[in-house]
Homo-oligomer: A and B are copies of this chain.
Amino acid sequence: MPGHLLGGIEAGGTKFVLAVGPAPDCITARHTIPTRTPEATLAEAAAWFAAQGGVAALGIGSFGPVELDRASPQWGFITATPKAGWSHCDLAGALGRALGGVPVGFDTDVNAAALAEYAQSDARGGSLAYLTIGTGIGGGLVLDGRPVHGIAHPEIGHIYPRRHPDDAGFAGNCPVHGDCLEGLASGPAIIARWGASLSELLQDHAAHAIIADYIAQCCHTLFASVAVGEVVIGGGVAQTPGLIARVAQRAAELDAGYLPGGTRHTIRAPRLGLDSGITGALMLAAEAAAGA
């Protein structure tokens, strides 16, 4: 039952955020449901969109890993995920059919957020990264105006930062890599070594400089390797007061004035607050509607 509105889904491992609106920057209704089995979750999502009068197109920003290759028969699927029941789930196909065969746009949750923050940016250059520092660490990229897929999609949470000298004792908690970025700087990695979230630790606790250093190394890597102009940092850990300013200062130290374009480097919180992902999902819907 197609309708007039755009529909968006921010599909996460713990919750799905659903929204409809006439345009990406105008959300007229939203709803959050817990992530259960694919069958139960997708049925509940489809029922909510139907109750809004249906949608003309759907956009999905999803947790990964996902298949983004339009030429693949698995396009729009979640691929091999440790999340029980969700491997090889045809997210885009099942939802598009359930909503009456509407066109579907599909990308990672972080690419969707990057697209939305990119649309908000007043920077020159058109290249932006969106990082989320939460239960995990992920990154989306818009380069020269387009979301980056590559042969799959970025997984920048699993680069290896240089160890901070005051953080030598911790092995890191990434089940695959140990002390990759996610294993050192995600919310659970912070709690694992200091027993509290970063916001709960006093501002002079060494953890603030340590975590800022790891995130700054990631920003420097993005500035150096693909010359983004902006890095937008969201997620629970990034809510820590003062963290983003510490990251920006440390990243400037790491660059040391070297990179071309460095005077235009910006590290900032999301302009859209917690709505970057769902807004990006609605942008994917608008794109799908235009392409259909």
Could you give, for residues 141-175 of chain A, a 1 whenever the CB lies within 8 Å of some chain B CB and a 0 otherwise? Answer: 10110101111111111111111000000000000
Cβ of A260 and Cβ of B153 under 8 Å apart? yes
Report Cα–Cα, A224/B65, bound state, in Å. 13
Most buried by B among A79, A153, A224, A258: A224
Residues 110-137 of chain A, each 1 if its beta carbon lies under 8 Å from chain B, else 0: 0000000000000111010000000000
Report if A289 contacts B (CB, 8 A).
no
With known contacts A146-B144, A148-B144, A159–B225 Cβ distance under 8 A:
yes
- Selected contact of A154 from candidates B124, B149, B226, CB within 8 Å: B226
Q: Is the CB of B254 within 8 A of A150?
A: no
| CB nearest to A222 among chain B residues | B225
Decide yes or no: A163 and B162 within 8 Å by CB, A148-B226, A151-B261 being known contacts. yes
Q: A153 to nearest B CB, angstroms?
A: 6
Which of B125, B227, B256, B260 is in CB contact (< 8 Å) with A177? B256
User: Is A264 among interface residues, defined by CB-CB distance under 8 A?
Assistant: yes
| In contact, B65 and A227 (Cβ under 8 angstroms) | no
Give the copy number.
2
A156 x B224 contact (CB < 8 A): yes
The number of chain A residues touching the other chain, given as a range, is 35 or more
A286 at the interface (CB under 8 A from B): no
Contact: B151 with A227, CB < 8 Å? yes
Enumerate 12 A-B pairs (CB-CB under 8 Å) in ascending A order: A64-B260, A148-B227, A151-B229, A152-B227, A152-B260, A154-B226, A156-B225, A158-B259, A159-B225, A160-B254, A162-B162, A177-B258
A interface, CB within 8 angstroms of B: 64-65, 69, 79-80, 123-125, 127, 139, 141, 143-144, 146, 148-163, 176-177, 217, 220-222, 224-229, 254, 256-261, 264
A-B pairs, 7 with minimum CB distance: A150-B227, A125-B151, A152-B261, A152-B260, A151-B229, A151-B261, A65-B260
Taking A143-B150, A152-B259 as known contacts, 12 extra A-B pairs with beta carbons closer than 8 A to each other, sorted by chain A number, are: A65-B260, A79-B260, A125-B151, A127-B151, A150-B226, A150-B261, A155-B258, A155-B260, A156-B224, A156-B225, A221-B225, A222-B225
